[in-house]
Amino acid sequence: MGGLGGTSSLSPLCLWIPVFIGVAVVCVSVNVSAELQRLEHPAVNKADASSISFLVIGEWGRKGTYNQSRVAFQMGRVGDKLNIDFVVSTGDNFYDDGLTVLGNHDYRGDVEAQLNPFLHDIDHRWFCQRSFILHTEIAEFFFVDTTPFVDKYFSKPKDHKYDWSGVLPRDKYFKPHKALRDSTAKWKIVVGHHPVRSIGHHGDTKELLTHLLPILEVNNVDMYLNGHDHCLEHISSTSSQIQFLTSGGGSKAWKGDVDKNGKDGVKFYYDGQGFMSVELEQMNVKVVYYNVFGKVLHVLNLSKGLHYAI
């Protein structure tokens, strides 16, 4: 399968790529018994703090194989053109068993290795925690560690061994409702590894539909960014303003692995490698999906204050 969609106009989690010289690297994924750490991120363009731009990549930890290096090269070109503020990774940063949010593959090993602040001392571009808030002039990003939400990793781990240090007990683990409720940001963006909505290999994540989606809706979240499914995808919520944006094409893609019957709200789907760019302003957002050759596959425009409708 190639792709679904083109241009859509709406009215209304750590990446190591050497070509990004001087750019902060933000990994999706603090023990949440305490208040979430809130980070301040000044805009790259000091003269215009009312806009930011960033790239989104996921499923990329494969030592340069499966076109990972080619995706990185194109990200370098786009990142340089947009003068990006940072890069967001949606998880599965290392395969096979891992040591950035964190993805399910990252929990199959020493999770604390990726969370160790010593890594930031080695290279200031690396920042990784389980859950945290990134505050900018016009938006707040809520990075949510979604892997502990998923029941099967506890009840049916198969041959995998998960490192749950710092997570248990689950009923006391992070729930983002208070942080989202207290936010007065113009734009609210949540980043997690697992999709809430997807027509890819894994499909919808039922635990997130039950426990996270109602929180996103009641707190007027604008966008939910995720990986997990190895594809690029845009689904528009049919019950709220939320746009579900999957960027999981950082390396190995799953050709043709799509639910052709689950097209409710689907605006775009691509089963190859690629990434996303996001340009955020006070009243407008532009999201662009690129393939491994840098070709634009899909464009999404959002306008704040107008009714979100395709």
Cα distance between residue 291 and residue 275, in whole Å: 7
Contact of 141 with 147, CB cutoff 8 Å? no
- Can 202 be counted among the known catalytic residues? yes
Question: Which amino acid, 75?
Answer: M
Measured CA to CA, the distance from residue 53 to residue 127 in angstroms comes to 18
State how far the Cα of 129 lies from the Cα of 111, in Å rounded to an integer. Answer: 10
95 is in an annotated binding site: yes
CB contact set of 23 (below 8 Å; sequence gap of 6+):
79, 84, 85, 86, 87, 125
- 193 annotated binding-site participant: yes
Say how far apart CA 24 and CA 2 lie, in whole Å.
33
Structure tokens at 76: 């370098």
- Of 146, 204, 144, the residue nearest 180 (C-alpha): 144
Q: Are 102 and 108 in contact (CB under 8 A)?
A: no
Q: What distance in Å separates the CA atoms of residue 28 and residue 190, rounded to the nearest whole number? A: 10
* Distance from chain centroid for Cα 93: 12
Q: Per the annotation, does 92 bind a ligand?
A: yes
Residue among 143, 123, 107 at smallest CA distance from 30: 143
> Which tokens is 81 given?
């053109």
Tell me whether residue 228 is annotated as binding: yes
Choice among 41, 202, 234, 307 that is catalytic:
202
Which residues 6+ apart lie within 8 Å of 85 measured at CB? 23, 24, 41, 43, 44, 52, 53, 54, 136
How far apart are alpha carbons 229 and 272 in whole angstroms?
Answer: 11
**Catalytic residue IDs:** 202
| Annotation: binding site | 92, 95, 104, 193, 228, 230
Annotated binding site for Fe cation: 92, 95, 104, 193, 228, 230
